[in-house]
A and B are shown apart, each in its own frame.
Chain A
Amino acid sequence: MQKNHIDIWLMVAVLGLMVISLGVVYSASAEWAYARYENQNHYIDLHAIKILLSIGALFAGLSIPYRVYKKLAKPALIIAIAFLAVTLLLGGETKGAVRWLHYGGLGFQPSEFAKFTLLFYLCALLTVKGETIRDLKKGFIPAMVWVGIVTLLVMLQPNFSTAAMIIILSIMILFVGGVRFSHLTATMGCLIPVLAGYILIAPYRLQRMKLFMQSRTNGRANYQLWQGMIGFGNGGIFGVGPGESRQRDLFLPESYNDFVYSIIGEEYGFIGAVFILAVFLFIMIRGYKIAKNAKDDFGRYLAIAITGTITLYAVVNACVALGIFPTTGLPMPFISYGGSALLMTAFGAGVLLNISAYTDMHPRIVKAGTAMEPPPSAELGKAY
């Protein structure tokens, strides 16, 4: 298949967000870093390293031809599931949940890796099965078994929000991939009692839900959410200025992570917040354009899955910060303080860029004698 230029504007958007992230995370984390480690650079130093690693991951994704995942996805998913199982047995604990695998000084969240391998595998499955996916026994149930295993293991950590995202994204890709509507609705019908049981086992989830419902009526039951809203409101249209956020002065917990959007809203105002939103919208549009122009089904599904992941995390994070959704710990892609999610998302963006190279969106400019595979003249004529 012919390889053209990558979608350079998509790359600019992603790298641009990462650069913005360095400034915003520094501003949002310095006070917390000082309060916890007496070193205001504690978080930003780590974050900078993670950004660098993520850029590496992005370029890795960009340079690997995406078709290899069609074969690699299944073994990778099995490894991911093994990781998840090991995590449950040996993992490090954060805030009552076992989400981390530590090796040496490094921590890693297998759930992020599992999420991507699962989505990649589903894309491969959709490509391979074609119309067979509409068959319950041959298509839908085999796919859902994998989704179920991964989701269950992530839920057991327990990491409800990531599990929910995995289900939503899986259903999204299966939906686009042509799975029967009746199968999906039946699945979702089954999920409701499971969800209810899950909430009832852990009282803190019920409490969180209650708090969220209360905050809808009296506006301030949830401290973090309330502080986030004050941040947005205080920013006004033009913001209080870079580095001038007051909410990060230990008022807003997780100000550099899950609530980073609130700090953006405070420092850069409505204009800044809308700008970030517009960048994500741009990424979505570019991503879906890549999907539309992808040369094969696998590329198309992959582009949809990756774009959907980025966009979904972005809008859910913004909705949480604005109090539209109950508080969950989901990062804003490329902006929030880095971790496994940043690394995986950056890699995903790289894969997306790699897919873009196999579309006709940005045809290669042919220099005489250098082109290995000269493009058809009709195509050239269309572009220029």
Chain B
Amino acid sequence: MTEKEENYNGGTEGNRQRWRKRFFFVKLVFFAFFAVITAKLIQYQILESEKFQALARKQYEQKFILPATRGNIYDRNGNVLVSNTILVSFAADPKIIGDNADAVAEAFGRILGKSKSAYLSKLNESQEKRFVWLERRVSPDVAQRIEAAKLAGVVAINEPERLYHYDELASALIGFTDIDNSGIAGLEYEYNDEMKGADGSVMMQRDGIGRVHPSADYPRREPVNGNALVLAMDLTYQSIVDEELKRGVDANKADGGLAVMLNPKTGEILALSVYPNVNPNNVGKFNIALARDRVVTDVFEPGSVFKIVTASAAYENHIVTPDQPFNAEHGKMKIALNGKKFRIISDTHEYDRLTFQQAIELSSNIVCAKVGKLIGGEIFYREARDFGFGIISGIDLPGEVRGILRKPNEWSGTSLQTMAYGYEVGVTPLQIACAYAAVANKGVLMKPYAVAQVKNAAGTVVRENKPEPIRRILSQNTVDLLTQAFEGVVERGTGKEVRTQGVRIGGKTGTSRKWSEGKYLENNYTASFVGFFPLDDPQAVLLVMMDNPRTRGYYGGITSGPVFRAIAERVIATSYKYSPALAARTEQESTSRIVPDVRMLQPSVAEKMLTGCGLQCRTFGKGAIVARQMPEPGKKVEKGESIALVLNEEALPMKDGSIIVPDVLGMSVRRAMNRLVIDDFDVKLQGSGVVTGQTPAPGQNVSVGSNIVLVCAPRGLSLRAQKTASPAVN
């Protein structure tokens, strides 16, 4: 019971002491709290302040990219080949949508004409995620209908998309971009830095629930749009070459083919086709290996087309004359390889004696081998080198290779003779075309180029490729002798298939066995024809090559020759500069035009395209993109016809599915019909002539697809009707 005693005996002094001690303890605890809080404040606000400030900035500020528009690509005449469109992608935040998933899926299904369940499963399967794509790359007019549905939790994201107006046309030349709009092939790759522009940005302030407003602390950086390319390519020639090459490859059941057309005077690439090819608007569907620009990336043994080097070296160094006779050995000749071994050179036909020019015209390997021997290794090598074989041409296309041209000290005993008719060398198709272009250009080799000009967004030329002579290879005399021989090829020799009315063509056939895995393949040839026209003043050099033609034989003359001729004939028909007589005849024929597809283009671009093919246009409404056009693409119309372009904002029904009746009073019936059909009205006509009355009246809101009754009267009557209808004027 000591405690009890303490209780009652604890005097006032003990009582007070206890109180003081306990009170002091309470105060001490509180002081400790204050100290701990101060320490934490020092930690967060002084020591770690920078870390938290960075975190804060990260959550308040959001950088929005203002994408730069990639530069367009035009042909040499200003036709739009490649432009851009904006597609809209829709993403959803399943967390925000929540219970609304059903309604959202229903709306998407209804507007896009797909099943609702697909969208519903997308929304439901990823409830944890805050972002799920609902639909990618929707065209703007459909997108506006989705946006009009005002679905909470659904965001629209603009995605710029490259639009290749002519699909596969010149795809090997133009190339294409990847999903991020960055060039990965062809000129799109080569000139990517020029065309991509510089994205701008705007810093947005964000609040805790994701609302944004522009930040005043950072200046808005406007995007710099990319530069446009003006190609040396001519859309007309390109489409001819594409079309005829495809036809030729199909007719010969070849594995593939390629064609390249140059302006010999400048080195400009006028057309470049590889077939089969890819559609750059839909690259994913194709084998990407086909996208290679084989004109510069592939090396082949040229065969007889390489005899240009033999003939040039021989003429230029006065080693032979055209009339100099040679023993053609009846089509078979043995040459010693090294002592005991022999190689047999054979011709396709057995000839007894041939002059040198005849040997070129008839493509005698034996005679060329003999002449090669006469020329000698050093001179032959130098000549081949001067023509640009074994060297990069420097063309502005990606992936160019230099080919294979060995130095004389690397040759075997028979190399000189075999090279003289085009074996034991590797060349690119472009090198062959450039070599013949040098002959057509009076002996001066030009540097080839694909892009003529780079223009900025304002249309100012910022860079220009000008014709650039590399070197003079041939004297005028040699040029004349070669031209004479090449014309002979077409007139009398292996290239008779190429001969055509009204224009003189010179060229050379070539057929070489394909080499694969260490040996020449049986029955697998590369067949080519390269030439230029018109001979009096060559405007175009054209090379056509077939890879493994199988139906009509394998010779260059009979496989690639007809393709060359078909292209040449059509090219000549386009312009007086080739053959005035022919051109005049064909000009009259075509007054009809096929309406091009200008939907989803900017109005200015659409207008340029339409005027470019001799059509006119008129636009309705406001908006950035053509939503609909009348007549529709692919329709045949007369030259000069006007095409109605409906811009996106006008063309769309209002949110509630209603649309405003346009005013067609006073229009001719045809114009009125055109106008109303654009908005999907069902038109009923009463009478003919000019529209004098319409029900419902202009400006009224009706539902889409409504009936419109037009009352029409002949023009004279309608004028009267109009006068009586407006007495207030007088």
Contacts and interface: CB of A to CB of B under 8 A. Distances in A.
Interface residues of B, number: 36
Nearest to A253: B208
Given A131-B10, A250-B209, A319 B36 contact: yes
A324 interface: yes
B206 to A, nearest CB: 8
A319 B33 contact: yes
Nearest to B58: A230
A252 B45 contact: no
Interface stretch (A83-91, A147-155, A268-276): A268-276
Contact of A274 (B41, B53, B209): B41
Is chain A's binding surface mostly helix, strand, loop or mixed? helix
Interface string B12-39: 0001001100110111001001101110
Contacts of B209: 35, 250
Contacts of A250: 207-209, 211
Contacts of A292: 23
A269 B26 contact: no
Contacts of B18: 178
Contacts of A172: 26
Contact of A315 (B22, B37, B48, B56): B37
B218 interface: no
Nearest to A285: B27
Nearest to A131: B7
B44 A232 contact: yes
A153 to B, nearest CB: 26
A292 B27 CA distance: 12
B19 A315 contact: no
Given A31-B207, A281-B34, A288-B27, A234 B19 contact: no
Interface string A346-374: 00000000000000000000000000000
A375 interface: no
A321 to B, nearest CB: 9
Contact of B37 (A236, A312, A318): A318
Nearest to A281: B34
Contact of A270 (B19, B30, B45, B56): B45
Contacts of A195: none
A105 B317 CA distance: 114
Nearest to B59: A251
Interface residues of A, number: 47
B8 to A, nearest CB: 7
Contacts of B26: 172, 175-176, 304, 308
Contacts of B207: 31, 249-251
Contacts of A131: 7-8, 10, 15
A324 B39 CA distance: 11
A311 B8 CA distance: 34
B49 interface: yes
B49 A236 contact: yes
A322 B30 contact: no
Interface in A240-254: 246-247, 249-252
Contacts of A231: 56
B40 interface: yes
Contact of A178 (B19, B36, B37, B211): B19
A135 B27 CA distance: 26
B647 to A, nearest CB: 37
Given A131-B7, A134-B7, A270 B59 contact: no
Contact of A230 (B25, B33, B46, B52): B52
A265 B44 CA distance: 10
A252 B27 contact: no
A274 B37 CA distance: 9
Nearest to A312: B30
Given A31-B207, A319-B37, A178 B15 contact: yes
A293 to B, nearest CB: 13
A277 B19 contact: no
B332 to A, nearest CB: 87
A311 B37 CA distance: 13
A270 B15 contact: no
A233 B30 contact: no
Contacts of A318: 37
A44 interface: no
Given A35-B209, A270-B46, A178 B56 contact: no
A232 B43 CA distance: 10
B150 to A, nearest CB: 19
A232 B23 contact: no
Contacts of B19: 176, 178
B285 interface: no
A322 B53 contact: no
A232 B42 CA distance: 10
Given A176-B26, A233-B51, A304-B26, A273 B33 contact: no
B33 A233 contact: no
A101 B208 CA distance: 32
B30 A284 contact: yes
A80 to B, nearest CB: 25
Contacts of B728: none
Contact of A237 (B25, B36, B46, B48): B46
A163 interface: no
A277 B38 contact: yes
A31 B209 CA distance: 11
B289 interface: no
B49 A237 contact: yes
Interface string A125-139: 000000100110000
A273 B45 contact: yes
B39 to A, nearest CB: 10
A230 B49 contact: no
Nearest to B18: A178
Nearest to B40: A322
Contacts of A35: 209
B55 interface: yes
A131 B36 CA distance: 36
A213 to B, nearest CB: 17
B45 A265 contact: yes
Given A265-B45, A315-B33, A234 B23 contact: no
Given A131-B10, A235-B45, A324 B23 contact: no
A35 B210 CA distance: 12
A28 interface: no
Interface string A170-188: 0010011010000000000
B49 A233 contact: yes
B131 interface: no
A251 B207 CA distance: 7
A229 interface: yes
B52 A233 contact: yes
A229 B7 contact: no
Contacts of A234: 49, 52-53, 56
Given A315-B33, A319-B36, 19 more contacts: A131-B7, A134-B7, A232-B41, A232-B52, A233-B49, A233-B53, A233-B55, A233-B56, A236-B45, A236-B46, A237-B46, A249-B208, A252-B208, A274-B41, A277-B34, A280-B34, A281-B34, A312-B30, A319-B33
Q: Which 3 A-B pairs have the closest CB atoms?
A: A233-B52, A250-B208, A251-B208
